[in-house]
Amino acid sequence: MALIDIKNLTYQYPITDRPALRDLSLKVEENEFLAVIGRNGAGKSTLCYTLAGFVPHFFRGDLQGTVRVGEKESAESTLNEWVLQVGLVFQNPFNQISGSKFTVYEEIAFGLENIGIPREEMHQRVEDIMSRTGITDLGDRSPYALSGGQQQRVALASILVMEPRVLVLDEPTSQLDPIGTRQVFQVIKSMSGRGMTVVLAEHKLEWIAEFADRVIALQDGKIILEGSPGEVLTSPRLDDIGIAPSRYTRAARAAKEEGLWPAGQPLPVRLEEARQGFQRIIDGH
């Protein structure tokens, strides 16, 4: 049985005139790393909110269909129960900071306090996650006196520390530099390796190609492409739905149009794949 099972989900926010998600069905297996792509407004964030229970419990609105995670149906659960199994890292980290804590260390401990974790274990988990997300030095700082990138790491740590069964991330690296981005992706991957199921909304296709098991593409609240990163991220249909393929894919396509790209060589998404293809051109194969 899939860990996450969404069936025929149609959802419309209050006071809007069209649904944000339309008749969407999706299964995610335990321990899978699923990436969600789509242009802004396609429904990525709404799907994240739905998995995290914010839709419909917080946003209200009109929901049809069912959302199941593990044994629980979203409609029959309270948000308090739901957040114990699904953690959401917000797109804008500022929106996630509790506002009730004076230091980063306390901010990260906040969720654990709420569920009554013993003090010793709490210290241990907070310190471990701060070290893994690279924010040990920020422990005594105010969560508000941080750069966007630092705040984004704090937001991530404060969810990871809860060790949810499902981790949902809405563009978690938008304000990070490339090194920070790699570090965050590695942390996410290591959580996935420890049995966490990951759903990630992201624009950075190269990273998806490196880390995700499967990709879905949304347009107007529907899934219109689904498959392995190699299939979906080089699909010619990406352009039609407003997603720019990676530069490697674009360069290979341009070479293909000129008849240069080697026959049988798949279009690349990542650097190494592109290097192989172009090397073959140079070597005259």
**Residue (70 or 180) nearer to another protein, CB:** 180
Shortest distance, position 165 Cβ to another protein, whole Å:
27
Q: Could you tell me which residues come within 8 angstroms of residue 43 by beta carbon, excluding any fewer than 6 positions away?
A: 20, 21, 24, 218, 220, 221, 222
Confirm if 108 and 129 have CB atoms less than 8 A apart.
yes
H or E element that contains 219: strand 214-219
**Does residue 60 touch another protein according to CB under 8 A?**
no
Structure tokens at 131: 């070290």
Query: Which residue, 122 or 205, has its beta carbon nearer to another protein?
Result: 205
Residue 194 or 285: the one with the smaller Cβ distance to another protein is 285
**281 is an interface residue for another protein by CB under 8 A:** yes
Q: Which two tokens stand for residue 13?
A: 């926010």
Angle at which helix 148-160 crosses helix 104-114, to 10 degrees, equals 30
**Near another protein by CB under 8 A: residue from 147, 186, 190, 228:** 147
Is 230 among the residues that bind another protein (CB under 8 A)?
no
* 224 closest CA partner among 30, 43, 5: 43
Asked if residue 61 binds another protein (CB under 8 A), the reply is no
> Can you name the residues that pair with 9 across neighbouring β-strands?
24
> Does position 271 bind another protein by CB under 8 A?
yes
Q: By the 8 A CB rule, do 61 and 97 touch?
A: no
Which of 12, 50, 91, 192 binds another protein (CB under 8 A)? It is 91
Instruction: Please report whether residue 84 would count as binding another protein according to CB under 8 A.
Output: no
Coil, helix or strand at residue 122: helix
Name 159's Cβ contacts closer than 8 Å, sequence gap at least 6.
87, 88, 89, 111, 167
Q: Of 36-44, 49-57, 107-115, 185-193, which segment contacts another protein by CB under 8 A?
A: 36-44
Among 86, 216, 243, 267, binds another protein (CB under 8 A): 243
Identified binder of another protein from the candidate list 14, 179, 259, 263, rule CB under 8 A: 179
Between 178 and 195, CB nearer to another protein = 178
Among 5, 41, 72, 214, binds another protein (CB under 8 A): 41
Q: Which of 149, 214, 230, 262 binds another protein (CB under 8 A)?
A: 149
> Residue 263, interface with another protein (CB under 8 A)?
no
Plot region of 106 (φ>0 → left; ψ -120 to 50 → alpha; else → beta): alpha
Choosing from 39, 123, 165, 189, the residue that interacts with another protein (CB under 8 A) is 39
Burial 243-261 (b: 16+ CB within 10 A, else e): bebbebbebbbebeeeeeb
Binding site for another protein (CB under 8 A): 39-41, 91-92, 94, 145, 147-150, 171, 174-180, 203, 206, 242-244, 246-248, 250-251, 254-255, 258, 260, 271, 274-275, 278-279, 281-282, 284
